[in-house]
Each structure stands twice: as C-alpha cells, then as structure tokens.
Structure 1
C-alpha cells in the first residue's frame, strides 16, 4: 500500500499591529507638525530652567551690590546687572518659575470652574442655563485686563491675588466652550441611551459628556496659558502682581523701564523670555487644534 504523506502547515505569525486610539492618532499627527514640535521644545526648555533654577542661576535673585549697578553683560554676569546690582540672568531664570506657575495654575483653576458651570448650563438648560449664561455675559462685557485690575485692586496687590484674578476672568471662556459642546452631545444617541436605562445625570456627565469634551478644552487651555502669562506680566508691570523682590518677568520690565536707554539689557531679556514662552504655547496650541480636530485628519 502506498504511504499517505500528510503535510502539517504551520501558521505564519503575522505582526501584531499596535492598537489605535484617538489620543495616539492625535500624537502621531502632532509630532509631524514641525512648528508644534518647536513650540513643545521651547516649553520644555523653560520647564527645565524653572525646575533646576537653583542649579542654573549663578547668583541669588534677591542679592546685589550697588557698585555693580547697571553693568553690561560680561563673562561674570551673562545678562548684565540691574539698577540694584542684581544679576539679571539669575532673576530671569527664577522668573521662569513664577510665570509658568501663574500661567498653568490660573488656567487650571479656570478650566475646573468653567467646566463645572458649563456642564450644568448646557445639560440642565432652562433657568440654570439662563443664570449662568447671564453671569458669563456680564463678565465678558468688561475687558479682561480691566476686570483683573479691579479684582486685584479690591483684594490687594500680590502674586496670589493676581493668580486668582486671572483665573476668575477666564472662567467664562471655558464655561461657554463647554456649554456649547454639551448642547451638542446631550442630543447624541449614546447619551439618550444612557438616560433610557436610568443612568444618573452625574454619571452621564462624568462618563459620557465630559470625556467627549476634553479635546477643545485641552486646545483652549494650552492657548489660555499663553494669555495668562501675558496678563500676569501686565499686572506685574502695573505693580499689581508680584511684589519686590520676586523676579517676575513683567515686574522686571516695570522696574527697569526708566533705564531702557542706559541699560537696555535689563528690559530685553525678560521681554524676550515672555515672547518665547507665549510663542511656545501658541505653537503647541495650534498643533493640538489641528491634531484633535477630526476634520483636519484627512
């Protein structure tokens, strides 16, 4: 009898592709955006400077010698000295801590409060929406910097009060953004299905509506940090923000404006840091907008 030969075919293992997700897709789009990567690099640079300020700064930011008053940049003082003989480079380095802290903290506070009120207004509507929306309208009727000045004038000039004022004036921006998003999402089928099975409103807001509202919040928050840094610098320039000897960039500009012709380096370097930081957040914010917008993915 002829032997019957059987052949066993070993299945070829196919490479397992990495699971895709909206956030991973957004990152892949973002990292291809050269300008966004430049912005991310600028932000990371200033974050590193702020974190390691004591190791980077060669001098203490609040100590100086009057005999070294308004000295030009040199090997000893890279950015020169100010009107009190303090090292400008050291003050600029420590100033990164204050500006980034004020910008991020105030915007985070605005996002939390604005998201809370926006969820309530958009989801419940009726008188809740009317009351919250009218409050937002009144706040938006005032120029933001004037409203911030009024709040700090009432509370008293200090860095903490300036941070609180910046957070308050930006609440309507995030609140209206979230409200408009909720008005759209609450009519979607998955939200209506959640209601049909008896899910509580709080659970619907947290589990379904809020996660689908994160993309515009992140984009607006990133751009809002740049605005908050400018507003903090403006309040500092007016003497309503950080108080001496705190090395806040806006306050450094205000203290040195009368020496702009005699010692321009005391104004150039803090102003340049403000410009670069704001530019970095604007670039990464634009990149996030393009990456998180489904209409831009094609």
Structure 2
C-alpha cells in the first residue's frame, strides 16, 4: 500500500510537467524556423556577452585620455579610432553596451510590472476603476513618448537613472492597455466562469488563470519595447537629458561627436551602428516571438 501511494504523486507530477515540455518544444520548433529571429538572437546575445565581459574585452579604460592621439582614425591600436579626448572608441562602445542594455531591460521590467497591475485591475474589476485607469492611459498616450520623457527628466533632473524612470513611466500605458484587453477576453472564458462558480477567489483566478493566459503578448511587446527603450535612452542622451559625461552611453557619444562628423566620421559611425544593431536585433526577436506564440501564425 505505501508503495502505491508513493507512485501516484510521481505519475501526476509527470503528467503536469509533460504538457509544459511539449509546449516549450513546439515554441522552439516554430521559433528556430524564423531565420531573421535567429539572426536577431545572435546579435542580442553578442551584445549581452560584450556587456558581461566588458572588462576583459575592452583594451583600455573608458576615461583614459591622450590628447596626443585625439581623433585618430581606426587602426590596429584603436579598432574604432579615438574621440576628441583621445579615448578609445571601441572600449567606450563595449562598456556602453552595459548602460544601454540596463536601461532597456530595467525600464521594460518596471513598465511590465506597473502596467500589468493596472491593466488587471481595470480589466478584471472594471466599473469605476476601469474608467479612471483607462483615462490615465489615454492622457499619457496623448503625448509623444520622447516629449513626455523629456518632461519627466526635466522635473527629476538629467541623469541616466532618471531617464530610465522616465522611459518606464512612458511605457506603462502600452502594457496596461495590452493586459486590460487580454483580461477582458480571458475573464469571459468558460474555465474562468467555472472557477468563479465553484467559489474560487478573485486573486486565485487572476494568478492561476488570467495572468498565465496573458503572458504571450506581454513577452512579445516587452521584447519590442526594449528596442524602443534603448532608442529613447539614446535620444535623451543625445539631447543632454540622459547619461552625463563621462559615461560612455551611445546617445551621449553621438552628441559629443556631432561637430566632428565631417573631419572624423568614425566618432559618430560606430556608436550609431551599435544602436542600430541592438534595436534591429530586439525587433527581429520580437517578430519571431510573435509568430511562434500566436496560434494564427503557425500555419
């Protein structure tokens, strides 16, 4: 008898895990067929590795100045050339990957947490809360994202951390409206109605049924928004509202080098190319995730 009682939980555990493994396998099978998404994954992983191992990859310090070699073109000693202070551009781009990716990931995570919370409240409980939260989303979305970011940074003060906060706030309505629309659909599904009819509490329904069935669009939108956040951070840095000197943020590097675009174009070319590659990489991954997670796209 004890042996039979022990075997039953093991079988149920296997039954619970196997659908998850199958779902992951199906997702990966669909995702790897998308060649642009795989290319985007390689690009993003490359920059993530640059950020992680920046201290070992960068040949020089980000603030090592040598006026005697200022504005030198790319060479064996300085792969991407030097800037107006004689600093190695390649080293600054490598360390700049840390700043740009940190802003992208952290701002999107903050937006997802806040937007999901507000979206669930508005979509699930509805009524007065839905009206108030939806109107707040509409007001925030009425402003161009870069202008709203500039206004928030102007209030908080120019810095990379304040730019991160501003970008997170600007993107909250995007995830809030996405989650709200998804919750409005999921909460009317039969399994949710059945769970409510047997007395399951609202919090349990939300965490066991509503949110798990809303993750797919959040993941896709989050991946795409990382690219947008990196662009916004670069734009704020270019305008002097984001990262401040001597931080090697890519947008700030573009701003500092714009007056040398004719005499030393490499000072602008390589930071701009880094921004383009990262943004394209995340956009390709987002498109691949959308195609792999959307049942309508599987055929």
What TM-score do you get using the length of structure 1 for normalisation?
Answer: 0.93
> For 1:164-209, what per-residue CA distance to the aligned partner results, in whole angstroms no more than 9, with x for missing partners?
0000000000000000000000100111111111111111111100
Q: Which has the higher helix share?
A: 2
Alpha-carbon distance in structure 2 between the residues aligned to 1:178 and 1:238? 33
Alpha-carbon distance in structure 2 between the residues aligned to 1:28 and 1:139? 39
Alpha-carbon distance in structure 1 between the residues aligned to 2:65 and 2:174? 42
Residue 11 of structure 1 is matched in structure 2 by none
Residue 4 of structure 1 is matched in structure 2 by none
Alpha-carbon distance in structure 1 between the residues aligned to 2:160 and 2:36? 32
Of 271-280 and 63-72, the range deviating more from structure 2: 63-72
Describe the SS at the equivalent of 1:21.
helix
Alpha-carbon distance in structure 1 between the residues aligned to 2:124 and 2:25? 29
Deviation (angstroms), 1:22 = 2.6
Alpha-carbon distance in structure 1 between the residues aligned to 2:147 and 2:174? 16
Alpha-carbon distance in structure 2 between the residues aligned to 1:162 and 1:205? 32
Runs of 4+ in 1 over 6 A off after TM superposition: none
Alpha-carbon distance in structure 2 between the residues aligned to 1:78 and 1:57? 11
Closer/same/farther in 2, CA of residues 20 and 48 from structure 1, 3 Å limit = closer
- Residue 127 in structure 1 maps to residue 117 in structure 2: no
Residue 182 of structure 2 is matched in structure 1 by 181
Deviation (angstroms), 1:23 = 3.0
Residue 80 of structure 1 is matched in structure 2 by 81
Residue 219 of structure 1 is matched in structure 2 by 220
Alignment of 1:142-221 (within 5 A): 142-221=143-222
Describe the SS at the equivalent of 2:61.
coil
Residue 34 of structure 1 is matched in structure 2 by 35
Deviation (angstroms), 1:19 = 7.7
Alpha-carbon distance in structure 2 between the residues aligned to 1:70 and 1:20? 54
Describe the SS at the equivalent of 1:174.
helix
Compare CA radii of gyration and give the structure with the larger one: 1
Alignment of 1:58-73 (within 5 A): 58-73=59-74
- The answer for unaligned runs of 5 or more in structure 2 is 1-17
Residue 45 of structure 2 is matched in structure 1 by 44
Count of matched residue pairs: 282
Alpha-carbon distance in structure 1 between the residues aligned to 2:78 and 2:296? 51
What TM-score do you get using the length of structure 2 for normalisation?
Answer: 0.93
Alpha-carbon distance in structure 2 between the residues aligned to 1:141 and 1:253? 29
- The answer for unaligned runs of 5 or more in structure 1 is 1-16
Describe the SS at the equivalent of 2:140.
helix
Deviation (angstroms), 1:85 = 0.5
Closer/same/farther in 2, CA of residues 173 and 73 from structure 1, 3 Å limit = same
